[in-house]
Amino acid sequence: MRFGRRAFLALAVTTLSPPAGEAAKPAAPAAHPRDWSRSFSVSPAGGFVMGNPQAKVKVVEYGSLTCPHCRHFAQDAVKKFVAQYVRSGRASYEFRPMTLNATDLAAILIARCGGPSRFFPMAETLYATQPVWLGRTDGVTDADLAKIPGEQIPLRMAERAQLFGVAQANGIAPARARACLLDSAAQTRVAQIYEGAIDMGIPGTPYFLINGKNAPVWDWATLQQELKKAGV
């Protein structure tokens, strides 16, 4: 039996159209890849981690917020590393503080105050303004520090360096920042990370481990070389 043109079109419409009362289902939207640079955690060592916990390559930096070489690495390499490797989940980035002086302790306690999600933007701000706030503490001597009760030293140095503005700009109220600076448990945790670094033979900052092994990294070019060796 042959169909005329009109009958064929009617059959096609009946076959391809959804049944009466049933709306056509929209196509599922394409899945967007996860942005791992928005994933944060605390490592067993006490460092703050950005990225995929199951990343093939794990980069650990022992750094100091008062170290000019660490500042150079932060400004030269970190954003590129995050954009090209961390965001996709291929690598993770952990910062472990190796405090070098009283001002450094104050800065890291302020930076840690908001937890891992706020640590990295606060560290970026502190590195960018390092010469300013660090310069405010140049005149403080060991004799001056000896006159301050030990647990209050970070608070006094933060006041001298005027670090409360950085905290407030990142959503941490002055009262909360003050509590973090006086937190003896936080002070002890930072000291333990430092002692662990010394026990490992880490000589200074910045110092890098890639998948647990020492890596000669000091800028973006050397980090890229080591990432290629690690297979990413």
For residue range 133-148, what is the model confidence (pLDDT) as tens digits?
999 999 999 999 999 9
Report yes or no: 168 and 105 within 8 Å, Cβ to Cβ: no
Domain ranges of the chain: 36-229
Query: Distance (Å, rounded) from C-alpha 202 to C-alpha 184?
Result: 25
* pTM for the full predicted model: 0.85
At residue 33, the pLDDT reads: 85
Q: Per-residue pLDDT tens for 85-101?
A: 999 999 999 999 999 99
36-229: which CATH topology? Glutaredoxin (3.40.30)
At residue 30, the pLDDT reads: 59
Query: Distance (Å, rounded) from C-alpha 127 to C-alpha 105?
Result: 14
Query: Distance (Å, rounded) from C-alpha 192 to C-alpha 195?
Result: 5
Give, as one character, the DSSP assignment of residue 204.
Answer: S
8 pLDDT more than 70:
no
Q: Per-residue pLDDT tens for 70-85?
A: 999 999 999 999 999 9
- 30: which 2 tokens? 């394409």
Average pLDDT of the residues of the chain: 90
- What's the pLDDT band for 23 if we cut at 50, 70, 90? low
